[in-house]
Amino acid sequence: MKKVLQFLYKNQANIYKISLVVLTVFLIVYFFPKGYKFKYDIDKNTPWPYENLYAQFDYSILKSNEELKEERDDIVKNHSPYYEFDQNIYRNAKKSFSSDIKNILPDSLEQYNPKRVKQFVKKTFDDLYQFGLRIDEDRFPEDKVVILKKGPKVEEVLLSAIYKQDDLKNYINAAVENSPYKDLKENIMELFFKNTEVNVFYNAELTEKSLNQKLDNISQTRGTVKKGSKIISKGEIVDSDKYQKLVSLKAEYESQDWDDSSLNTVIVGYVLLVSLAFLMLLLFIKKYREDIYEDNNKITFIFFNILFIVGLSLVVLHFNPDYVYVVPICILPLTLKAFFDPRLGLFTHVITVLILGFIVPNSFEYMFLQIIAGIVTILTVSELYKRANLFISVFQITLVYLVSYLAFNLIQEGSIYEIEGQKFILFLLSGVGLLFVQPLIYSYEKVFGLISDLSLLELSDTNSKILKQLAETAPGTFHHSLNVANLAEASANEIGANALLVRVGALYHDIGKMKQPTYFSENQKTSVSAHDELEPLESARIIINHRAYGIEMAKKQKLPDRIIDFIRTHHGTSLVYYFYKNQQEIDGESADENNFRYPGPKPFNKETAILMMCDSVEAASKSLKEPNTKIINSFVEKIIDKQVEDRQFLNADITFREIEQIKKILKGKLKNIYHLRVEYPE
């Protein structure tokens, strides 16, 4: 049992990584859609690259989206709207009309036969209300066939057969002009206007219900493919008809019911493929980003981001697979580039796209578009803390999406008019989603304790509380830190390191000197040194302890670990040479060198190595008297070569060529500081 516990303790980091991979694979596969996976990719208007394909079972041919849309449009266009004839209004109008007919004949016109006049007026009324009276509206054209509902009975009539209220005057005029009762026109007109009322109304609810019923009854299929019949031959062009047969076969194949044995087999396949993808990611990180591999917090962060993107895509796929492009998947490389580096961001993005390629429709098209977009993200997004850069990059990423999708559809459809405009809207929405990367990065910094360029920019402000305190307490050290920051930033730019990170690290690397500022030469205002009354060992201890004090202060101020790393490593395991030599004068060869060495660790990346070089060169340059080009060149070479010989950069990912480039920058900067000029001949 004891050996088991020892084994677990020694390998806890690796056990954690294995557990993390297992958990991530389980969550992804568990929520993967389960179903048969069609083994062929279907690309329209391209040659069929596989063997001759025969139908293994009878299946129906699905109608294309264009066919369904055309059928729906035709139904909507030809659908007859419903109008309702209100019988109560008609009866009341007729009753009122009948009671007023007796007043139609004035006393001066007794030559007319009252009975015939009443018959004429009633017939005119009945003709008017044969299909009813409606209000004037432009909802439908007058030649539209509508369904008129009179109680339980319905009949189809032309809309123009239902008189409009505004046409009442013309209708009466026409009826009277064609009768022998022209002299009674005003009386008849008064009678009709007094007693007629609109009684036919458009029934929107019934019309909508009827239309939806027709749309719901649209058949999704047209014809069938019989078992054993050839669907397509190898090399044959996938035209529209064959494309629809293949798509229908795929839909039928993937909708088949599973038995437990088949389901378990597919799950095993998914587990193996997803696990293999994550294994490749871990191997890449271990081989090329060992510092990240050793940090379980960073590994957790990377896997969490993959899980977040895959989970978001699965939610959208469950809702509607057509909306899969609305997911701003390029947030993943954007985020990882902000915290780590472009290569890791792109590699992780590709792995994530490959995993999603198992389940998305049109997987080849999806993977091509997303990988291209990921490459553009890595190439274009720089200095994320500048808001304008983010907007420009999002525009470029969205443009690449649009152009790539357009190219695919030109190949598949053979016409620009067949392209779905909805997809372009999805790409635009995805671009808008990318703008949320900045608040997302801020959240990640708080949750995972990481640091991005956005935070580095804030920390580089010399008006921050701790830097203002440094300027007041140890002004010489503050000035030294500014000079080192300038030298380090220029050096980092020269070799392609993170210039902003090394600049911020340089600003904070000596904050520990605030504890005992007068024991450091740059803060001494007189020629009398505080070390004159101390033993060399005590003086060395004070000098060395500024590193530990700095780490303590940085943690109290909650500075990120990446900045504290500069405080830890800026002296590596170098020797406090001056006080060591003083101790040798007292103890001779018995002086213990280990008492005069910084505890380390040594610089472990380019940025910390750059700071160590720049810090040593800038501090020692104060001792130069009457410097010239030759002295400065020799001075820089001597200091940095001594650090190389002392193996201070053994753990840093920095080459001899890059060290030579840094030397060149430091020589040039020192010459500018000392205002050296070319010596002219006398």
Other beta carbons within 10 Å of 40: 15
pLDDT tens-digit readout, 498-550: 898 999 999 999 999 999 888 888 888 777 777 877 888 888 898 889 999 99
pLDDT tens-digit readout, 74-86: 998 889 999 999 9
pLDDT tens-digit readout, 99-151: 887 766 665 455 667 778 788 888 888 888 888 888 887 788 888 899 999 88
| Cα–Cα distance, 353 to 274 (Å, whole number) | 11
Greater model confidence, 474 or 628: 474
Query: What pLDDT is attached to residue 326?
Result: 92
Query: What pLDDT is attached to residue 680?
Result: 44
Helix axes 606-621, 656-673, angle to 10 degrees: 30
| Cα–Cα distance, 623 to 523 (Å, whole number) | 15
Mean pLDDT of 443-470: 85
Mean pLDDT of 154-172: 88
Query: What pLDDT is attached to residue 358?
Result: 85
Q: Which residue has the tokens 């902000």?
A: 338
Q: Poorest-confidence range of 258-267, 325-334, 359-368, 523-532?
A: 258-267
pLDDT tens-digit readout, 643-677: 999 999 988 889 999 999 999 999 988 888 776 55
Is 154:147 a contact under the CB 8 Å cutoff? yes
pLDDT tens-digit readout, 381-396: 766 656 677 788 888 8
Angle in degrees, CA 501, 503, 508, rounded to 5: 95
User: Over the chain, what is the mean pLDDT?
Assistant: 85
Mean pLDDT of 564-588: 85
Query: What pLDDT is attached to residue 303?
Result: 95
Query: What pLDDT is attached to residue 417?
Result: 65
- Domain boundaries of the chain, sorted by first residue: 75-214, 272-448, 455-673
CA distances (Å), origin 401, targets 18, 337, 373, 397: 36, 20, 7, 6
DSSP assignment string, 241-252: HHHHHHHHHHHH
Is 83:147 a contact under the CB 8 Å cutoff? yes
pLDDT tens-digit readout, 395-445: 888 999 888 888 887 776 666 666 667 888 888 899 888 888 888 888 888
Mean pLDDT of 216-220: 88
Closest by Cα among 598, 620, 604, 601 to 670: 620
> pTM of the full predicted structure?
0.64
Residue 51 pLDDT > 70 = yes
E strand or H helix that includes residue 153: strand 153-158
Residue 45 pLDDT > 80 = no
Greater model confidence, 279 or 259: 279
**In CATH terms, is domain 455-673 a member of 1.10.3210?**
yes
Residue 617 pLDDT > 70 = yes
pLDDT band with cut points at 50, 70 and 90 for residue 682: very low
